[in-house]
């Protein structure tokens, strides 16, 4: 076994990737990612002890956050870039270690391991300390709970990264990131202790999602119901993928008046509904579907593509020379933009042919049904429920992916009774964007609430409705049917569990890192259900 990774839903054989990642991650990159997380654990350990002695721990929190985010699925595949991060994290760790004054012999291995090494030696160190090394010592339950916590922290890191670049941070969340990463140094962890930490991660995740919502709406305004052109216009073109709204704004600023149309891709679709972004007339609409179709669709895009965050797939030769990565994203041999100077992207766009003509009949998708919009018509929604016009809300969203069986989510929306409102968010929305579900009570039956980054919108709407009806979330006529792929979905799931939400249907497969014993506890405590193979059967069960 040259590697072991089971952090995503599409992991090989549903158990773990051992030769090469389904995502195209090599064993070398897997080893470096494992070692980067170990370095981050060591940094968290010494920073927590240096803080009370006067050290500013914010740089440590930022470095730990970046290490976690860089190891999210489909973010960074560049071994040399990861090696540079490991050395930098190690150097910062050693600096905080001097602040803490801890004796070398009392430090965990993560805080004392030599990281100032050539890349080949770092790979070897990572190979010795991966998941399977802990699996053999702790067994599946402990290791699975450690990984559940780690993946929740990775999701938190991604969301807090987006908030941080907009000038927003929460010191309580930073403190928990460091505390939880330090807790993973424990040489004698317990099931109960790790389960408690996972629930606390859920609590911190709710704060994280609220923080990111405040950041996005504070900088760009509240999303508004907006018809988004799902097609092309004649002219030069740039495509922006990922989730980083600030990158998109800066690109729009730098392309003003140049005759270049900027299109969103993947999870950037909801950006078209923010007042601070849609005010740019050359934000031309959206190109393509969900992230996993990029290798089929990007060869047909006649301009450069900027990946601001996950989800990057291995670029193929037909468009690799037009790919640019930003921030923590990386692929060997692909142009990386170290800051928000998009001049190289603009030059490439002017060099490329662009689109020859407009789409004759572009499809329109309505975006922008975030919490501010939905709650502005809360009285209408509540009256429609009380009068029986709306019988149920069903949230169908989360991550999309390539594994067979995800047509289930489309069928759930298509076959839902006409008096049900369908909410969606995340790239799982692309299973529903082609559907015309009509209206109900003067409202659209399908409401797109935004990116996975906008998950707080769904939480805020549910909590407001629960308050209005004098019940808790589980007392609402609300069903959650969630698709998952990577670690941000784990963060959102832990947030929902901490809020006490029960009866979530999760799929298309359950996480490989959740052992049968841990799954049994989650089923007993939270009534988590796997999605079925038959949408009709699950709809009947929900109605019952």
pLDDT, tens digit (0-9, with 9 covering 90-100), for 99-150: 887 776 789 999 999 999 999 999 999 999 999 999 888 999 999 999 999 9
Looking at the predicted structure, is the pLDDT value of residue 1 above 60? no
pLDDT, tens digit (0-9, with 9 covering 90-100), for 260-291: 999 999 999 999 999 999 999 999 999 999 99
Cite the residue boundaries of each domain of the chain with CATH code 1.20.1270.20: 12-143+173-185
Please check whether the domain covering 12-143+173-185 is classified as CATH 1.20.1270.20: yes
Beta carbons of 110 and 49 less than 8 angstroms apart = no
CA-CA distance, 36 to 44, in Å (whole number)?
12
Cite the residue boundaries of each domain of the chain with CATH code 3.40.50.2030: 226-351, 368-543
- Fold exhibited by the domain 226-351: Rossmann fold (3.40.50)
- Fold exhibited by the domain 368-543: Rossmann fold (3.40.50)
Three-state helix/strand/coil letters over 392-420: EEEEEEECCCCCCCCHHHHHHHHHCCCCE
CA-CA distance, 114 to 491, in Å (whole number)?
31
Q: Hey, how many other C-beta atoms are within 10 angstroms of the C-beta on 349? A: 25
pLDDT, tens digit (0-9, with 9 covering 90-100), for 296-306: 999 999 999 99
Task: Kindly report which listed range (97-106, 195-204, 356-365, 403-412) carries the lowest average pLDDT score.
Answer: 97-106
pTM score above 0.95? yes
CA-CA distance, 202 to 528, in Å (whole number)?
15
pLDDT, tens digit (0-9, with 9 covering 90-100), for 424-451: 999 999 999 989 999 997 889 999 999 9
Beta carbons of 93 and 64 less than 8 angstroms apart = no
> Is the N-terminal amide bond of 39 cis, ω within 30° of 0?
no
Predicted local distance difference test score (pLDDT) of residue 2: 80
CA-CA distance, 496 to 459, in Å (whole number)?
8
Q: For the residues of 327-396, what is the DSSP string, one character each?
A: TT-B-TTSEEESSS--HHHHHHHHHS--BSS--SS-EEEEE---HHHHHHTHHHHHHHHHTTS--EEEEE
**H-state helical runs in 166-304:** 171-183, 191-220, 245-254, 275-278, 294-297
Spatial CB neighbours of 179, under 8 Å, sequence gap ≥ 6: 44, 48
């Amino acid at each position: 076994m040259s590697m072991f990774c089971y952090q995503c839903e599409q992991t090989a054989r549903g158990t773990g990737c051992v030769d090469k990642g389904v995502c195209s991650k090599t064993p070398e990159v897997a080893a470096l990612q494992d070692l980067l997380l170990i370095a981050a654990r060591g940094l968290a350990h010494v920073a927590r002890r240096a803080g009370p002695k006067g050290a500013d721990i914010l740089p440590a929190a930022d470095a730990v956050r970046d290490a976690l985010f860089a190891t999210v699925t489909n973010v960074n595949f560049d071994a040399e870039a990861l090696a540079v991060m490991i050395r930098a994290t190690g150097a910062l760790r050693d600096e905080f270690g001097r602040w803490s004054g801890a004796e070398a012999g009392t430090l965990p291995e993560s805080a004392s391991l030599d990281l100032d090494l050539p890349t080949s030696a770092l790979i070897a160190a990572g190979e010795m300390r991966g998941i399977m090394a802990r699996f053999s010592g702790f067994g599946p339950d402990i290791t699975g709970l450690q990984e559940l916590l780690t993946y929740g922290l990775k999701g938190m890191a991604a969301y807090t990264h987006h908030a941080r670049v907009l000038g927003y941070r929460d010191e309580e969340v930073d403190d928990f990131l460091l505390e939880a990463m330090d807790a993973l140094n424990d040489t004698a962890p317990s099931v109960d202790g790790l389960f408690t930490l996972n629930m606390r991660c859920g609590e911190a995740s709710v704060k994280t999602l609220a923080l990111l919502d405040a950041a996005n709406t504070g900088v760009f305004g509240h999303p508004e119901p907006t018809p988004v052109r799902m097609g092309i216009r004649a002219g030069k073109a740039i495509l922006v993928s990922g989730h980083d709204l600030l990158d998109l704004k800066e690109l729009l600023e730098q392309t003003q008046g140049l005759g270049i149309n900027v299109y969103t891709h993947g999870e950037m679709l909801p950006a078209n509904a923010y007042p601070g972004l849609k005010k740019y007339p050359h934000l031309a609409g959206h190109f393509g579907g969900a992230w996993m179709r990029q290798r089929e669709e990007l060869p047909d895009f006649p301009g450069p593509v900027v990946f601001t965050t996950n989800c990057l797939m291995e670029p193929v030769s037909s468009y690799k020379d037009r790919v640019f990565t930003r921030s923590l994203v990386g692929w060997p041999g692909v142009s990386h933009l170290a800051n928000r100077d998009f001049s190289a992207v603009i030059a490439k766009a002017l060099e490329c042919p662009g689109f020859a003509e407009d789409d004759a009949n572009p499809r329109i998708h309505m975006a922008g049904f975030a919490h501010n919009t939905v709650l502005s018509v809360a009285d209408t929604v509540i009256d429609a429920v009380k009068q029986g016009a709306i019988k149920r809300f069903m949230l169908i969203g989360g991550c999309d992916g390539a594994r067979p069986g995800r047509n289930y989510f489309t069928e759930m929306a298509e076959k839902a009774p006409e008096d049900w409102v369908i909410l969606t968010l995340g790239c799982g929305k692309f299973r529903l964007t082609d559907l015309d579900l009509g209206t109900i009570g003067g409202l659209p039956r399908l409401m797109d609430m935004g990116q996975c980054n906008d998950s707080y919108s769904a939480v805020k709407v549910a909590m407001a409705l629960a308050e209005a009806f004098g019940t808790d979330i589980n007392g609402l006529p609300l069903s959650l049917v969630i698709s998952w792929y990577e670690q941000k979905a784990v963060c959102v799931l832990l947030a929902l569990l901490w809020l006490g939400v029960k009866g979530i249907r999760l799929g298309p497969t359950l996480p490989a890192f959740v052992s049968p014993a841990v799954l049994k506890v989650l089923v007993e405590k939270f009534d988590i259900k796997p999605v079925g193979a038959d949408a009709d059967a699950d709809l009947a069960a929900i109605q019952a």
